[in-house]
Amino acid sequence: MRAAVIGLVLAALAVPAAAYDRMQRSQCRDALAAGAAAIGLDQADIYAADRARHMVTPDGWCRLFGDDPMLGDAPFATLDWRAEAISRLIREKRPPAALQVRVRDWRVEPDDPLTRGARARPAPLDAEISLRHQQDSRQLILENLRIGSDAGDEFLLTAVFERVDFSSAAMAQVSLGSVALGRLNARATLNGWVENRVLPGLAVEGDPPAVRRMIRDGLDRLPGSLFDTKAEENLDAFLAALPAPRGTLELGLRSDSGMMFSGLGALFIFGRSLEADDPLAALLDGVRADVFWTPDTDQTE
């Protein structure tokens, strides 16, 4: 049943808050069941989506509860969402015009393999996402993704995806093979995330010099054209702060032709590009990255 929730998030898009109407409880239930069916879940999951405990909050959002048995021990306290033109998903099985999602108290379980070996159990997270689709330009705009914890860590992301067509259910599926990343900007305020979430998730272990060498070896596989001299200097400063950096890391990616996600999928599935001998060079051709690292010695673990 968690997959149905994830499918709803991935299937829908968002526009500014003023465009949203108050959600109806029947829409909350029907959209979740339609999302479960649209991503190919079995009848048991579709039934669970329909029978889950749905509520409309005072400010008009659909709400799911993490302690609902129908959700299978979901690792959050509440998940709220609202959509514009949700009838497109319910009736036509294509993404609605808009969606916003907010998650409260997303917990990491003690036996979570992604945080095995962490110095401390990560604090629960809150997350918000806001996306918007522009059919005329075939752009999917991630207006805001924010993930934060009470420990002071925060991750912010905005991005523009090109060649996304949601004019019909068939075109939405076709778009999955042609979507490209045009621009991306990310900022991470770090006060424990790297050593408690990122490095354990990447299975990177060892003393500080060993950790730095492993990360540097990975960066050295990237095309030399990706970073300019200033970005390289900031990367070196960030690496020197590993494995427990405290400060703000900013990343900007831009590409005139777009970074093809089909190439990224082939690289992940087959370990190589389907169209080039050097998969990373093909994937990142024409992509430029800006990197800024600002250490903060006042932050504490």
In this structure, the answer to whether residues 243 and 111 fall within a common structural domain is yes
User: Has residue 12 got a pLDDT over 60?
Assistant: no
The token pair that represents 172 in the structure block: 């939405």
| pLDDT reported for residue 278 | 62
User: Has residue 275 got a pLDDT over 80?
Assistant: no
Residue 139 CB-density burial (10 A; 0-12 exposed, 13-18 middle, 19+ buried) = middle
Instruction: Name, in order, each residue with C-beta under 8 angstroms of 70's C-beta and a sequence gap of 6 or more.
Output: 1, 48, 49, 51, 52, 53
Would you say residue 168 lies in a domain? yes
In this structure, the answer to whether residues 290 and 153 fall within a common structural domain is yes
| pLDDT reported for residue 205 | 79
| Total of domains in the chain | 2
- Pick from 128, 197, 135: nearest CA to 158: 128
Backbone angles phi, psi at 3, to 5 degrees: -60, -35
- Pick from 143, 145, 118: nearest CA to 133: 143
In this structure, the answer to whether residues 60 and 198 fall within a common structural domain is no
274 touches 201 (CB < 8 A): no
Which secondary-structure segment (H or E) carries 128?
strand 125-134
Would you say residue 270 lies in a domain? yes
In this structure, the answer to whether residues 248 and 162 fall within a common structural domain is yes
Would you say residue 65 lies in a domain? yes
| pLDDT reported for residue 119 | 58
Would you say residue 102 lies in a domain? no
128 touches 102 (CB < 8 A): yes
CA 239, CA 222: separation in Å to the nearest integer?
16
- Pick from 82, 83, 86, 79: nearest CA to 102: 79
Q: Is beta strand 246-260 parallel, antiparallel or unpaired with respect to 125-134? A: unpaired
pLDDT in tens, 135-165: 899 999 998 999 998 888 999 999 999 999 9
Q: Give, to the nearest 10 degrees, the angle between helix 229-241 and helix 208-220.
A: 150
Would you say residue 145 lies in a domain? yes
Q: Is beta strand 139-149 parallel, antiparallel or unpaired with respect to 55-56? A: unpaired
pTM for the structure as a whole: 0.80
- Pick from 276, 222, 274: nearest CA to 253: 222
In this structure, the answer to whether residues 115 and 82 fall within a common structural domain is no
In this structure, the answer to whether residues 238 and 120 fall within a common structural domain is yes
In this structure, the answer to whether residues 84 and 135 fall within a common structural domain is no
Range in 8-17, 26-35, 173-182, 200-209 the model is least confident about: 8-17
- Pick from 100, 68, 86, 77: nearest CA to 30: 86
In this structure, the answer to whether residues 16 and 54 fall within a common structural domain is yes
pLDDT in tens, 207-257: 889 899 999 998 988 888 899 999 999 999 999 999 999 999 999 998 877
Q: Which of 78, 97, 116 is the last residue of a domain?
A: 97
Locus of tokens 């879940």 = 41
Averaged pLDDT, 191-199: 86
Residue 44 belongs to domain spanning: 1-97
pLDDT in tens, 90-142: 999 888 888 899 999 998 765 555 455 555 666 789 999 998 888 899 999 99
pLDDT in tens, 35-86: 888 888 888 888 888 899 999 999 999 999 999 999 888 889 999 999 988 9
**What 3-state DSSP class applies to 32?**
helix
Where b means 16+ CB within 10 Å and e means fewer, 268-286 reads eeeeebeeeeebbebbbbe
163 touches 135 (CB < 8 A): no
Locus of tokens 């917990």 = 107
Question: HSE-up of 72 (CA within 13 Å, CB side)?
Answer: 10
